[in-house]
Amino acid sequence: MCMKFVKGFFCFLSMFILSDVLAGSRKVLLIGIDGVRADALQRADMPTLDWLHRNGFGTFASWHQDITISGPSWSSILCGVYHDKHGVVNNKFRGKRYDRYPMLPIIAKSYEPGLKFGMYMEWDKLIKHSVGQQWDQILKGSIAGTDETAERSSEWLIETDLDFYFVYFGAADYVGHISGFSPHNPFYRWTLEGIDRGVNEVIHSLKRRKDYFNEDWLILLTTDHGGTLFSHGGLSPSERQVFWLAYSDRIQKNTLCGLDCGNINDISNPRISALQHHVPVQPDIATTALHHLLFASICKPSDLNCWNLDGVSWLDPMGLSNEKKPANEFAYHDLLINNCN
């Protein structure tokens, strides 16, 4: 197990100075939406995600580089590595190697033991296999219960003081399996539109936190896979094209055009190492979140190298390694006021 690095005097001094310069405690909200085809997002009426895409950082063309099944994908997102390391190849989670490649709470707490992590999860299998990964709070929701998830997780965000929140919406995957993963399927599109309203409600709740203006939030949004017909798990573009978005009230806006850098399981389209960091991918969620949370504890993302992560941090390209804006510059205003119906 990787232990916390012993920092040199210069690193300690620089982080001590930065901790006084940077306003607010750093926190992360990860919103995971299961089973989303990126092309369906662009066909549906998604004002919240569209706003985040235009005003934040990321892409609707992040390409899945591993197994397009929920178990392996959420493991990659939360552990920062692909299945050849975390060991999960299906939704049975057999062979998982979370002891060697743990979820991000264990990694973060090896540096800052006082950090608190929580998840609001509709999918009971992920709850079961997250036990023992040092989550401080796990709230169980109802599968495909979008309105319930939005309401309960919003209340949770307002009433608790954690450092990392993971909120999961599962209705798109549920409806896709029943009626089809297709941008032309109205039931699938309507489900996505309902989730978009739920995402807006969750993000809206942040500013109702009593210490919001003393906090430095990074919001991350992604999905585990797309789909084709009534399923997923293959290598088709509709299963592999996913979205990856980030937002902060001080983020450097950048809409990235993603190249398909291949898949580690496809001999006809192998992953191209030289291009794999052209756009953010699933394991980058964990690494970017860790970099944000541990900014005062690590000098640079490479300090996490001992964990052998596949993901990289996008914090520097986002412009989040600098001073936070004054609290009166509230960049969520247009999103929250104009799109809350």
For residues 244-260, average pLDDT: 90
User: Which region among 45-54, 200-209, 247-256, 323-332 has the lowest average model confidence (pLDDT)?
Assistant: 323-332
Q: What is the mean pLDDT of the chain?
A: 88
Give residue 27's identity as a one-letter amino acid code: K
Cα–Cα distance for residue pair 254/279, rounded to 1 Å: 11
Give the CA-trace dihedral at 229, 267, 308, 107, to 10 degrees: 10
Q: Are strands 241-247 and 117-121 parallel, antiparallel or unpaired?
A: unpaired
- Give the side-chain half-sphere CA count within 13 A for 80: 28
Q: Under DSSP, is residue 202 helix (H, G, I), strand (E, B) or coil?
A: helix
List the structure tokens of 136.
Answer: 């401080």
Q: What are phi and psi of 214, to 5 degrees?
A: -105, 15
Cα–Cα distance for residue pair 307/81, rounded to 1 Å: 10
Can you give the pLDDT at residue 331? 44
Can you give the pLDDT at residue 157? 98
Cα–Cα distance for residue pair 1/99, rounded to 1 Å: 8
For residues 248-265, average pLDDT: 87
Q: Under DSSP, is residue 148 helix (H, G, I), strand (E, B) or coil?
A: helix
- Report pLDDT digits (tens) over 281-335: 999 999 999 999 999 888 788 899 999 999 999 999 999 976 565 544 444 444 5
Range 265-293 burial, b when 16+ CB lie within 10 A, else e: beeeeebeeeebebbbbbbbbbbbbbbbb
- Report pLDDT digits (tens) over 99-148: 999 999 999 999 999 999 999 999 999 999 999 999 999 999 999 999 99
CB 164 within 8 A of CB 104: yes
CB 307 within 8 A of CB 80: yes
CB 212 within 8 A of CB 161: no
